[in-house]
Chain A
């Protein structure tokens, strides 16, 4: 069962992924940085959901299946076909409210939607895809700003997100029992 205190581990990993995205090394390509930025965002937003989540035990599995174990958690919830369990529907609203109140929220939502798709017709930071009818390796692709926004902006947005979630956790911990 997800507990608010578990959020700390997710935030530690979010921070580590962000450091990796910003690391200096000649062999790190832009696609790798974009992947780590997305990973960092994803863990931070999941940490926030864990802090706020207080759903019924019978909804826990759905929470894990449709949110915690998904690559693009908000996008997944928004596009879930069958009627979503009410607790998850409400959770997605609360998480979206939180994201929209942050600076550069549009960028964060774009990062959320950036999946590692295997469809060659779509840009992917992990698998080859078609650019003007020619298969291209992600490491050779250069138009990442169009895909996921400016890298400096994306890093700053995710950094602020992590700080905001850390603040949420701090307050959640101070709550009298």
Chain B
């Protein structure tokens, strides 16, 4: 099912429906049924696609909510953007030392954020060290999108790119 959906995910319909999905899914109009039929999608498949897609506005909303907390956050990078779960790297300078910042903290989806969330958080030093040891994380960060905090985020993506190229 997921593979089938993944084949559809780059289509215009999926992109549009992901952005407007929550509004769209509330309606039961004839034009909606027609559009789904034309795209060869059942209602069930459509709803699954809505769940699968993680959108840029949703990630920005999440990061903006996090940055308003008292605990400072200097950078956020959205990684593994093609995954059906959300993956976010956050630099929290006051975070206590963590041997394994690369191990994500997982959260179930809800109404406020409707995707499973994998949060990789740590201070800059710990994250930098983790990138140097974890090729998968390095590649993900090097290919990630900076959503907040150019300075610290760029430092991390630079280290990640070096780790990837150094290993190549």
Enumerate chain A interface residues (CB-CB to B < 8 A): 4, 48, 51-55, 83, 86-87, 89-91, 93-94, 96-98, 100-101, 164, 167-172, 175-176
Contact = CB atoms under 8 A, between A and B. Distances in A.
Interface string B65-100: 110110100000000000000000000000110100
User: Chain B, interface size: which category?
Assistant: 20 to 34
Contacts of A86: 98, 105, 121
Interface of B: 47-48, 51, 65-66, 68-69, 71, 95-96, 98, 105-112, 114, 116, 119, 121
Majority secondary structure of chain A interface residues (helix, strand, loop or mixed): helix
B66 A93 contact: yes
A125 to B, nearest CB: 27
A97 B69 contact: yes
A70 B79 CA distance: 35
B99 to A, nearest CB: 10
A52 B98 contact: no
12 contacts: A53-B107, A54-B107, A83-B96, A86-B98, A87-B105, A89-B95, A90-B107, A97-B65, A98-B112, A100-B68, A168-B110, A171-B111
B51 A176 contact: yes
A118 to B, nearest CB: 29
B107 A171 contact: no
